[in-house]
A and B are shown apart, each in its own frame.
Chain A
Amino acid sequence: MTATRDDIFTKLCELLGPFNTDKIELTGSTDISTDLNIDSVSVMDFVMEVEDHFDIDIPLNVLSETRTIDDLGAVVAERLEAK
């Protein structure tokens, strides 16, 4: 069963919950690091949760070009397709 973009977005927001301590409203264009004011280690910890939930591999190198939730959603979709 393939996850739709909406499914992925909803799940990413859910996984981001514990890191979004300022409870900022999340949209596709939310910048994970700067808008949510979370540090570099927390971003990596969040991505680890994403990897484990979807059972995919997101190398850290990919993250340098991944800023928004939609950017990350696209990476997740691409990795799920490649599985």
Chain B
Amino acid sequence: MVDLFDKHRDIAERFQRMMVLGVNAVGVTNEAILSPTRAIINGRETILAGTNNYMGITFDPDCIAAGKKALDDFGTGTTGSRIANGTYALHRDLEAEIARFLAREHCIVFTTGYQANLGMLAGLCGPKDTIFLDADSHSSIYDGCTLSGARLVRFRHNDAADLERRLRRSADDGGGRLVVVEGIYSMMGDRAPLADFIEVKRQHGFQLLVDEAHSFGVLGPNGRGLADEAGLEDECDFIVGTFSKSVGAIGGFGAGNHALFETLRYVARPYMFTASPSPTSAATALAAVRKLAAEPERRERLRENSCRLHAGFKALGLELGCDEPSPVIAVKGGDEASTIAMWNALLAAGVYVNIALPPGTPGKLCLLRCSVSAAHTGDDIDRIIALFSEVVASGADLKQSA
């Protein structure tokens, strides 16, 4: 008999090698959360700089009050899917609020951000269609593509000319064609060159889906994401987003203007066959989206903090994931062991960042990935820079070789 776990022995050994270097970097436990930017980890207060809590909205009193009220009024869980007993007024209100925020005709809420990509991709595309996806796409996009059964063509990251070449090369078999890009890429923090892709769209004709997971609430004059920042919303057919970042809850959504958009509710299996978001999550997301609309100063603070951290890291000579500041700021490490050692040193010094290792990163990079929050103070940002400076000073691997 073959042990099903035999194939996982390499990964188990890799995990053991990491544990020798310190604490479990992929299973950190927050013993207490003190604020959007502080937690108790290993018994000590730690600055959180890897939470995707972009707006620092998780402890907003209005959002907490809305969550408590929903818990009292609607109970702990919905015990059902949206197509059965799981649709509450809260879900409908949330969908209407997001549609209003995005200035789109339709919005469908999913139970997680991961499922939003699964549901949208598998709902839109089938075996006779072709999906062209950016090589650096998030795993939820890859998994959604697989679930759809569509032909999958991968194009070089952020390379519109490469997409164009692949569109030409790919046989026109009469099926639909969907191109998928992200507003801000989660590992390197770079934006999709949307104008370039839309130029290709005008020549070749396809439908375009933009995953604004890291850019919803963050980019653009209205906070609607990269499409808003680039002024190209009309060209983006479908928007996907998540509540687990700028919105500070859990869940996700798909939005668009297509006349048949609502049909996705009856064909997208990740929407149909899972319980709907809990009342608490739906209510806090609703309150948070209203805040994002009403309080543009949060975006401005986030932008200032992002620029401050990016500039501080550059001044240290660190090699970063991308030149343009965004709330995702990745510092390139050396090999896996030295990056893990550096991550441990940062945590011991009092700052939590994400560690990102291949194959979860592009180009086999090992990354110390930071995400900035509007709730960070200027002092927090300076402290993060100082800690990177200390740790970097003792570890040549992180220094730019140039």
Contact = CB atoms under 8 A, between A and B. Distances in A.
Given A55-B169, A57-B166, A48 B135 contact: yes
B359 A57 contact: no
A60 B358 CA distance: 19
Interface stretch (A7-15, A39-47, A65-73): A39-47
B151 interface: yes
Contacts of A61: 151-152
Interface string A23-43: 000000000000001011110
A44 to B, nearest CB: 6
A61 B146 CA distance: 8
A48 B350 CA distance: 42
Contact of A56 (B135, B154, B169, B362): B169
A80 B4 CA distance: 38
Interface residues of A, number: 15
B17 interface: no
A41 B133 CA distance: 13
Contact of B154 (A42, A48, A55): A48
B359 A40 contact: yes
Given A57-B153, A59-B151, A59-B153, A41 B169 contact: no
Nearest to A39: B359
Given A59-B151, A60-B152, A44 B135 contact: yes
Contacts of B10: 37
A39 B364 CA distance: 10
Interface residues of B, number: 17
Contacts of A57: 153, 166, 169-171
Contact of A39 (B152, B154, B166, B358): B358
Provide the main secondary structure of the chain A interface: helix
A44 B169 CA distance: 18
B131 to A, nearest CB: 9
Given A42-B364, A44-B135, A59 B358 contact: no
B154 A60 contact: yes
Contacts of B100: none
B156 interface: yes
A45 B135 CA distance: 8
Most B C-beta atoms less than 10 A away, residue of A48, A56, A57: A57
A59 B152 CA distance: 5
B185 to A, nearest CB: 14
A20 B10 CA distance: 18
A68 B38 CA distance: 50
B78 to A, nearest CB: 35
A49 to B, nearest CB: 11
Contacts of B169: 51, 55-57
Contacts of B152: 59-61
A48 B135 CA distance: 10
B246 to A, nearest CB: 27
Contact of A41 (B145, B151, B359): B359
B151 A44 contact: no
B40 to A, nearest CB: 35
Contacts of A39: 358-359
A59 B311 CA distance: 41
Contacts of A37: 10
Query: Which 3 pairs of residues, A with B, have the shortest CB-CB distance?
Result: A39-B359, A60-B152, A41-B359
Contacts of B135: 44-45, 48
A48 B359 contact: no
B363 to A, nearest CB: 9
26 contacts: A37-B10, A39-B358, A40-B359, A41-B358, A41-B359, A41-B362, A42-B359, A42-B364, A44-B135, A44-B154, A45-B135, A51-B166, A51-B169, A55-B169, A56-B169, A57-B153, A57-B166, A57-B169, A57-B170, A59-B130, A59-B151, A59-B152, A60-B145, A60-B153, A60-B154, A61-B152
